Amino acid sequence: MLGDLFKNLFKKKRCSDELLLIALEESGADLSQPHTINFQFSSDNAQSARAIAEELSGKGFNAEILLPDEGDLFTCKATKELIPELNALRSLTKEFELLAQQQGAIYDGCSADPAG
C-alpha cells in the first residue's frame, strides 16, 4: 500500500496536450481522424489580441476576438481542423507560448470537441 502511494506521488506530470488527447480518447474519439481544435489566448489590450488573430489567420486558423466584459481580458480564439497528434500539439503549444509572450499576452491552451 505504501508503495502505491509513492508511485502516485512520483507519477510523471502530464502536460495539457497529453491530457487533451487522453480526454478525447476516453470519450471514444477516433484520434486518427481530424478534429476541430480550439486554441485560446488572453490579452489585456485589443491591439495584442488583434495581432495574434492576424498572425494565426495567416497560418490557416479561423481566429476571432471576443470583447471583454467590464474590465476583463480580450480573448482570441483560434480553431483549426487537424489530426490530434501529441508532437504536433506540443509544437503548436511552444509556438503559441512564444507568440503570446511576444505580444504581451497569455496562451491559455487548447480544447477539442470529442465528436470531431
Question: Each residue of 54-87: b (16+ CB within 10 Å) or e?
Answer: ebbeeeebebebeebeeeebbbbbbbbeeebeee
CATH architecture of the domain with residue range 35-116:
2-Layer Sandwich (3.30)
pTM of the model: 0.82
Domain boundaries, the chain: 35-116
For residue 72, the model assigns a pLDDT of 82
What is the H or E stretch that residue 48 is in?
helix 46-57
pLDDT tens for each residue of 47-67: 999 999 999 999 999 999 998
Alpha carbon 14 to chain centroid, angstroms = 14
Q: What is the mean pLDDT of each successive set of 10 residues along the chain, which is 116 residues long?
A: 41 70 88 93 94 97 88 90 92 96 95 74
